[in-house]
A and B are shown apart, each in its own frame.
Chain A
Amino acid sequence: MSENPTNPSSNGRTQPLLLRGIDEEGLHTLEVYRRRGGYEALTKALDMAPGEVLEQLQASGLRGRGGAGFAIGKKASFMPEGAMDKYMVCNADESEPGAFKDRELMQKNPHQLIEGLIIAAYTVGANRAFIYIRGEYQRQADVLDAALAEAQGAGYLGERILGSGFSLTLVVHRGAGAYICGEETALLDSLEGKRGNPRIKPPFPANQGLYQGPTLINNVETLATVPHVITMGGEKYAELGTESSPGTKVVSISGNVRRPGNYEVELGTPVREIIYGLAGGPPEGREVKFFFPGGSSAPVLTAEDLDRPYDFDSMAEAGSMLGSGSVIVVDDSVPVVDVALKVAKFYEHESCGKCSPCREGTRWTRTILQRVDDGTATPMDLDIMASVQEQILGNCLCVLGDSMAMPIGSMVQKFRAEFEAHIEAARARNPFGDEEPEPPLPVVQGAAA
């Protein structure tokens, strides 16, 4: 990669794209962004026909950075052509535990996202765009609103952008705290003013999405990469990373590491390099026990997988997934049951309740894990839990239930001995469970027993 002319390297390191000079003072303002060459990609794109821009996106092989890893070029090509109300939605509801890359990109370089969004909307001919940002990101939403007003004032948004025939309105839509709204169809329902419940697919959003119109939905990081693809050219971009996972990826590392944070790496970088080299590895005297390679939804990998390359296909091969690129490292001082229980509680809380397998399955999984921790479980409970998970997988409208079943299933599979030892130890400690009994719930006089 060091010979790549568009991407000159120093000290053998490729220059970052998304995080280049991210901490520069005032980068969130139009003035600084433009001084650094901002909105030139938009000018270039508007000079091309939408079909040509689409070709560039397809040539880049850029895969969606939100979790599924679906190529943006392919997704955009599913959009119908012709004059109709089409929509462009940016999924900024980053709520996957462990993920915080979009936050950084929106807060520090909002124009990069807006520029990518305009280009993507131009490609598919959408005239209305929305950024659905999670309600907790108040500061980031304010930054986006300010950037939006600036872009509007400079003619990058609105009627006849930069003298072309293309018009686009953009609205920053704030959510109000629901993990499920990161799922694309639930996000659309939420954006339409309903409870965030996923829809049955097909029809896919590209055919029938927001307000029943064709809709292109992409993650923040994907859209923020689009200007770079246009500037570099799709084929040049595809030279970065691996063949099937081109480009760079912002990886959020957290958990038991010394330097948690966002790092941009080329896809295909060994995991050990990311966890030990960049994030500094676990604290002194501790070892990596296991890690989630792609947020809490990804099945866990152990220290044995540290030398695998970090890209979509290698992670899938290892039985996990790259997901949103959020690495959570758990060291050997943490009982695996604690982490499993945390994951189960999270998904139980966030299940929207539309599909029974997920609503009931997440609750039962949490209940069983609670029993394991309390000392009221038997080793057979692990098998019951596995059967509960089996009935979730693939039986719901969205993957929220699967996202709980898979990591917990992988934890039980890889650390079954520890689970069994935990059950035994907890039973020996307290045959009936509760360490500190809470007062019973009030029962009205004369209640049925």
Chain B
Amino acid sequence: MTKKRDSLPAEDRVGTNGRASVPRFGHGSRVPGWDEAVDLRKDPADVPDPATVPVPPQLRAEIEAHMAKYPDHRSAVIAGLAAAQRHHGWCSPEAIDQVACVMRLTPGYLVSIATFYDMLENQPVGRHSVYVCTNISCSLCGAEELLAAMEEATADDPDFNVRHFECLGACDIAPMASVDGVYVGPISLDEVPTLLEQVREGAPVLPAKQLTQRAVAEPLAVLPKGPTTYGGRMPEEALGPPAAIEQEPIGPAEGSKQSNEKAV
């Protein structure tokens, strides 16, 4: 929201007195959508009546199982909303009502939770979520271009929910994305079409680049204290291959090896 306001064209930003003017909306507010959230003519929604709110038995069982794990059942709100989101695709008013009904909370309370957490969707979204990390480490490695490429390639596909995300905790495979919960990286721009095709087909995305395939870079790397052995320049032996990724040799390397053997 704020982003749009700041990037208004220059002529709109300068008022008649030559100073920057703040854009206003039809209703006089500077905040877009300030009056869209509530209808003040209505009474606040109460805890829904179980007799009038049908809840799918599966969803009810899932939420109740989460509630049973905690001393205070309210602790299960995130789990409950996440379950409803999986069921409905997003935290729709209907989904909120159902969770409210099972957990005996007001819909308003649940909306306050659903709007706080990034992974709970408050608008209908595509069923495949692609979170592209655009935080520092990833953007140093080209995450902005990756996000733009992903957005462009899925612009016409309502099945995709491509969005930028703050640090996903996988800076070692930057630039990376979490595709339906699976961490993949580093993703190069020319792999984007393959990745999206694999998501469409329901196949594992870039199997060789999934986080689970990655070994710890150097597990025996505990160094003793003491003087620095590496000066401004690194010795040659320290220039190893970038990031050890345990994987089968793929594509051309294998093929060329075989063809060589055949030739012999």
Residues of A whose CB lies within 8 Å of any CB of B are 1-2, 9, 12-16, 19-23, 85, 94-100, 102-104, 107-108, 128, 134-139, 171, 173-179, 190-196, 211, 241-242, 248, 252-256, 258-266, 268-270, 272-273, 276-281, 292, 296, 307, 309, 326, 328, 330, 334, 338-339, 342-343, 346, 349-350, 352, 363, 367, 370, 431-434, 437-438, 440-449
Chain B residues whose C-beta falls within 8 Å of the C-beta of A96 in the assembled complex: 167
Given A139-B183, A363-B2, A176:B171 Cβ within 8 A: no
Contact between chains at A440 and B9 (CB < 8 Å): yes
Given A138-B181, A266-B225, A273-B230, A259:B13 Cβ within 8 A: no
A186 to B: closest C-beta gap in Å: 11
Complex-state Cα separation, A242 to B226, whole angstroms = 11
Contact between chains at A13 and B166 (CB < 8 Å): no
Complex-state Cα separation, A309 to B225, whole angstroms = 9
Interface SS of chain A = loop
Contact between chains at B217 and A100 (CB < 8 Å): no
Contact between chains at B169 and A100 (CB < 8 Å): yes
Contact between chains at A263 and B218 (CB < 8 Å): yes
Measured CB to CB, the nearest residue on chain B to A446 is B26
Given A97-B135, A252-B172, A443-B23, A258:B242 Cβ within 8 A: yes
Contact between chains at A193 and B77 (CB < 8 Å): yes
Contact between chains at A265 and B4 (CB < 8 Å): no
Given A14-B224, A134-B169, A139-B212, A195:B217 Cβ within 8 A: no
Contact between chains at B167 and A276 (CB < 8 Å): no
Complex-state Cα separation, A14 to B24, whole angstroms = 64
Given pairs A97-B135, A136-B178, A367-B2, 10 additional interface contacts (CB within 8 A) = A13-B221, A19-B216, A98-B137, A174-B78, A195-B116, A255-B174, A263-B217, A296-B136, A438-B7, A440-B23
Interface SS of chain B = loop
Residues of B whose CB lies within 8 Å of any CB of A are 2, 4-10, 12-14, 23-28, 32, 69-72, 74-79, 81-82, 112-113, 116-120, 131, 135-137, 139-141, 165-174, 178, 181-183, 211-212, 215-225, 227-230, 234, 238-240, 242-244, 246
Given A103-B170, A280-B234, A363-B2, A307:B220 Cβ within 8 A: no
Chain B residues whose C-beta falls within 8 Å of the C-beta of A13 in the assembled complex: 220-224
Can you list the 9 inter-chain pairs with the closest CB atoms, starting with the nearest? Answer: A444-B26, A261-B217, A432-B10, A254-B171, A177-B118, A437-B9, A176-B117, A193-B74, A177-B119
Complex-state Cα separation, A94 to B172, whole angstroms = 14
Contact between chains at A176 and B169 (CB < 8 Å): no
Measured CB to CB, the nearest residue on chain B to A241 is B225
Chain B residues whose C-beta falls within 8 Å of the C-beta of A296 in the assembled complex: 135-136, 167
B22 to A: closest C-beta gap in Å: 11
Chain B residues whose C-beta falls within 8 Å of the C-beta of A443 in the assembled complex: 23-26
Residue of B13, B27, B169 with highest tally of chain A CB at under 10 A: B169
B175 to A: closest C-beta gap in Å: 11
Complex-state Cα separation, A163 to B79, whole angstroms = 33
A72 to B: closest C-beta gap in Å: 21
Residue of A12, A190, A292, A334 with highest tally of chain B CB at under 10 A: A190
A13 to B: closest C-beta gap in Å: 6
Chain B residues whose C-beta falls within 8 Å of the C-beta of A195 in the assembled complex: 112-113, 116
Contact between chains at A139 and B10 (CB < 8 Å): no
Given A20-B219, A195-B112, A261-B217, A277:B238 Cβ within 8 A: yes
Chain B residues whose C-beta falls within 8 Å of the C-beta of A241 in the assembled complex: 225
